[in-house]
Every structure is written in structure tokens, then in C-alpha cells.
Amino acid sequence: MALQNPHFIDLLSEDPTSGEVILGMLEPRPWDGSDQRIFELQEKVNAYLSFALDGEMEEQFPAFRDRKLRLQLECAAEPDAKAEYYIGIIREQIGFQGIGFATRIVPEMAAEGCACGQGGCAEGAAEHREIPVSSSSGCCGGGGGGSCGC
């Protein structure tokens, strides 16, 4: 349940066409219209922005220095109306900093469960690994640890 754990970067890749660095968030659960889910999304976005804008990403991955950035929400189902509303706000606000935001629907993610370490990598992703942004209890908030590799 990746949105539940803001302490890990779920997906780090490079768009081979645009050259953008993609910080991907994975959400295998169906959208439920809850305030809790919106809070989880906001916390995850804030952690990703902190990772990118505070220099941690550049420190860990110097090759991504001075590259355009895109946050990408990969989810098993289309976001509900409430989530879409907040995604629009997020997209607008981070756009002021030159950061893009995209949503990608990956229906097979629901059947696989947590994408970390279970073959849930986005097709075409150049790299997929967990990158701790602060202390946590493992992959997607579970007790496991280590890197997710494609």
C-alpha cells in the first residue's frame, strides 16, 4: 500500500523520450473517497517534493542534476472525483515550480497487490527501487526491507 508509506520513493525512473526524472507513487487500492486517502496522497507528494527540492535526490543520484522532474501517480483504478479534484490542485501548485504531475492507470497492479518486489514495475521504467527518505518499516510500510528491482 504505497501511498500509506510516505517514507519511501516507490519508483524512480527516467523517461527515455523527454529525459524527465520520474518519481512514481504506486496505489494498488481502489479509490474510496475518504479524507484519509487524500491525506496519504498529500503526505506522499510532500515527501517526494522534499526529496527532490531539498537536494537529497541530487545527492544520491548526481546524474539527475538539472533535469526536469515529473511526479507520476500509478494506480490500479481511475481516481474518484475527490481524488481528481486534489490531484488538480497538486498539479497546479507544483507546476509553478516547473514540476509536472501525471496519472497512469495500471489495472494489473490491483491483482499483484503491493508492487514493491512483486513484479509491479511500470513497463518501460528504466529503474525501480525503493529509496528511503526517512526511517520506516520496510517496503510499502510492511516489515520487509531491501530494494525493489526490475
DSSP 35-85: HHHHHHHHHHHHHHHHHHHTSHHHHH-GGGTT--EEEEEEESS---HHHHH
Question: What sign results for the dihedral spanned by CA atoms 142, 39, 120, 48?
Answer: negative
β pairing state of 100-105 and 69-75: parallel
pLDDT for the residue numbered 88? 98
Name the β-bridge partners of 101: 71
pTM for this entry:
0.76
Q: Do the beta carbons of residue 76 and residue 107 sit within 8 Å?
A: yes
Query: Is residue 123 predicted with pLDDT exceeding 70?
Result: no
Per cent of the chain over pLDDT 70 is: 73
Query: Is residue 124 predicted with pLDDT exceeding 50?
Result: no
pLDDT for the residue numbered 139? 36
Confidence tier at 112 by pLDDT (50, 70, 90) = low
Confidence tier at 126 by pLDDT (50, 70, 90) = very low
pLDDT digits (tens, 9 = 90+) for 47-91: 999 999 999 999 999 999 999 999 999 999 999 999 999 999 999
- CA distances to 6, 66, 70 from 2, rounded to whole Å, are 8, 27, 18
DSSP 18: T
Question: Cα separation of 47 and 41, whole Å?
Answer: 10
| 3-class secondary-structure state, position 96 | coil
Q: List CB contacts of 51: < 8 A, sequence separation 6 or more.
A: 9, 23, 57, 131, 133
DSSP 93: H
